[in-house]
Each structure stands twice: as structure tokens, then as C-alpha cells.
Copies of this chain bind each other. A is one copy, B any other.
């Protein structure tokens, strides 16, 4: 099934570092009916898989995340995006658990995506904007190929925040027997009109950059970095709460600026330079076609859609234990959306707990220092481990 662990071959030269990946020559059949052949899955693992193969935790990343959960990112050289949560002795303890994280299908850190070389045509070239539309379910199906490859019959837990939470929910629905527990954080069972609207403005910012060139920018050695930076800056505002922005920046001016000089152009307020920094950092590591592809996958996400529009039907066959977590100041995926999930799970008699973390840090709080979140995840995992031990004992 696997032909090689090979070095990355992607269109942009800055990405040519060694990325751990597996190649599945049979590819993947997408929800749309299209096929991607071959399929490459880039992933990182932490800890050791137990002999019983019962200690695996799959972590699903968000829109712009990647597989570098707990080790240094090869492009940015920054610590992994959840290195506060995952590691030896941390809430998701790699001394106990075998943690897997894959770069999602359609992304740009090694798993097949728009920046990958398309090999199913006579003259191999970048997928670019010919990359087919994918869904959250396609991302999950990709992860399942890797999980099956590792011969893991049942994941001890699937955990993810934001779009990662969508994948976690999809796992519970698509593969009920393969998921012992699920922790969906700051997420939703569907993308709302406002969510879609923000994504669409981000895409329009990319499309309006002349270097977008109908998605064929890689042919010309350019990248629509201005549009992508605008998309990122806007999205970044939605990841933070108003209170967090006020606390962090308020109306503080850049040191070089005097209010009396009243400039129009350039950075005046500290919040502006922070946004510019977010935008310019992002474009160094992310691909515009991936951004378009993945935001569309989020927009299409509605767990109830293939179940007569009823979330209760979608959850009818779940077997997992759930710990649904929301963040009180998250206005992108507010607590009310988690409540919808919990209510539907209750309706099907699922084992579900629900915690709203009180924080003023907004949607991004799940990535930040948030002791209550740590305690919640750690406690839930310890609880279900105990429960499983009792179950195994009884059987």
C-alpha cells in the first residue's frame, strides 16, 4: 500500500525541507466523486503506540494549522501550535498516549493539496486551482487511511478545536466504532451565514490580488500575498474577543506616533502593527489555493445536511463519549453552537459532558494559556480511561 517515505516535492522552493509523509498510491475517492491519486499524508506522532494499540489520540488541526502540534515548525521555527497541551506530563500526556496529527487534505504542509504535484496527468504539474473541492468528511477519510495503516482499531480519543472540532464530530458520525471518545472544542456542527460571509470576504481579498492569476500564480513565480494577508488579518480579528483586543492594545499608539500629528497612512495604533505582523507571517507559510480550498470545506460543513437536516439523525449511531467544550468569549463559534451539539447528543442518549470555559480571549483561547481548558481535557481523559478499564474488566 505504501510505496515510500519520501521527501516533499512541492511547487514552492521554501517548502523543500524533510516532511514526514506516507504515499498511498491508490489515492482517495472524494465525496464529490472525484479521485486524488496518489494520496500523500504528512503527519507527526508523539509518544509510543501501546502493544494493545489502544492509546492513540488523533488531534485534528484548524484551518491554518498543521501536523506540528508539539514540535518546532520547520518553516516558522516556532514551537508547535499546541505545545502547551501536548507533551510529556502535559494534559495530553505523550508518556501515556500515542498522539497522531496529520496535515489535512487540501492544506500545504505535505499532505496532498493544491500545491502538490499532480501525477495523474501526462505532464506532472501543480494542482493549483484544479484541485478538487474537498469536505471535512474527505479530511476525516484521509486521516482514517493513516489510522488504518497504523492498525489502530479504535482511537482512544479524537480531539480538535475550531475546524479540528468539525473533524472530531465527523469522526464520531462516520466511524462510530473507531472512536472511543471525542473532544470537540470551540466548534460547530455547521458553518453559519456569518462564518461563510467572513470566509467569502477572505477569498474575495485573495481573488482581487492581481498575483492570484486565476489560481495559477505558481506558474508565474508569484504569490497573491497581499490578498492572502488581508484575508488572514480579517480572520484574525474574528479569532479574538473585543475584550482581549482592548486589554492587549486598547487605543495604544505606536511609539513613533504622536496623536497630534494625525497621520493617515502607515501604522498608527499598536493593534494595526499586530495585524500586519499576523498577515505577513502567515503568507510565508501558507498557500492561497489551500486557503480557498479549506475555507470552502468549512463552508460546506453541516453535519445534519445528509441526515434530513436533523442533527439528531446525524448522531443516531454515535458510540463515543463526548466532552464538548466552548469558550465564553468566542463569537465565531459561540457557546450556543456547542449547546446545539449537546442537545442533539442528549436526544440520542449519548454520553456527553459539556464545559463552557470562562475566558475573555475569544475563539483563539483554546490555543493559549487557559488552565481550565487543561484541567477539563486532562480530567475527561483520566475519567474515560478509568471507565474503559472498568468496562474491560467487566467483559
Contacts and interface: CB of A to CB of B under 8 A. Distances in A.
B193 A205 contact: no
A242 B192 contact: yes
A102 to B, nearest CB: 21
Contact of A262 (B31, B191, B249, B271): B31
A271 B197 contact: yes
Interface residues of A, number: 59
Interface of A: 31-32, 129, 132-133, 135, 190-194, 196-198, 200-201, 204-205, 208-210, 226-227, 229-230, 233-234, 237, 240, 242, 245-246, 248-251, 259-265, 268-269, 271-272, 275-276, 279, 292-293, 296, 299-300, 302, 305, 331, 334
Contact of A205 (B196, B205, B300): B205
B242 A194 contact: yes
A229 B251 CA distance: 27
9 tightest A-B CB contacts, nearest first: A208-B226, A193-B245, A133-B262, A32-B262, A193-B249, A194-B242, A193-B271, A201-B234, A200-B272
A245 to B, nearest CB: 4
A268 B299 contact: yes
A264 B262 CA distance: 43
A66 B234 CA distance: 27
A31 to B, nearest CB: 7
A29 to B, nearest CB: 13
